[in-house]
Amino acid sequence: MKDNLEKAIFAGGCFWCMVKPFDQWDGVASVRSGFTGGHVNNPTYEQVKAGHTGHYEAVEIVYNPQVISYEEIITIYWQQVDPTDDGGQFQDRGDMYRTAIFYTTEEQQKIAEQSKAALIASGRFSQPIVTPILPAQTFYVAEQYHQDFYKTNKEAYEADRAKSGRDAFIETHWKDQ
């Protein structure tokens, strides 16, 4: 990868809500919305949303590990999702909105497993952590109108985020961070 950049891929429900939390950090070169983990090549948003592709909505984060570590990125990830919900995330229901960590290297797998174990041991959540840690598959970039949605459709993004319950959940579970 160019200039020793690395990729991290996470599913955390609606990809619109997963871009901004990563996009704001030094060392993050890009965050793209897309799909991964399914059985249909080059799926469209409508196909994924219909639930017949097996894909998750996900984000691909390209980052400079000399500036921001995978450990830091995975900590940001955990603080954006409900890792106890296997039916989707917040108002978005269905398999395409489930959480998952897709590792691209053995080192990422090791770090992800350690961070999940630490989260379980912390007792922060009363329900079991169900977020799987899976090998990365092809990441398909979503249509252009989904990219940087929080910037290009600020009012729609803020309205959707407000009604989702995500921010209230984050405040309840991560207020001490």
Question: Rounded to whole angstroms, how far apart are CA atoms 65 and 27?
Answer: 7
Which residue range(s) make up the domain with 162? 2-174
Name the pLDDT band for 116 (thresholds 50, 70, 90): very high
For the chain, the domain total comes to 1
Answer whether 99's CB lies under 8 Å from 85's CB: yes
The amino acid occupying position 157 is: Y
Does the annotation mark 14 as catalytic? yes
Answer whether 51's CB lies under 8 Å from 94's CB: yes
Helix (H, G, I), strand (E, B) or coil at 129: coil
Helix (H) or strand (E) holding 46: helix 45-50
Q: Which of 8, 11, 14, 68 is catalytic?
A: 14
C-alpha dihedral sign at 155, 35, 60, 97: positive
pLDDT, one tens digit per residue, over 10-31 is 999 999 999 999 999 999 999 9
Q: What is the pTM of this model?
A: 0.95
Q: Which domain CATH number covers 46?
A: 3.30.1060.10
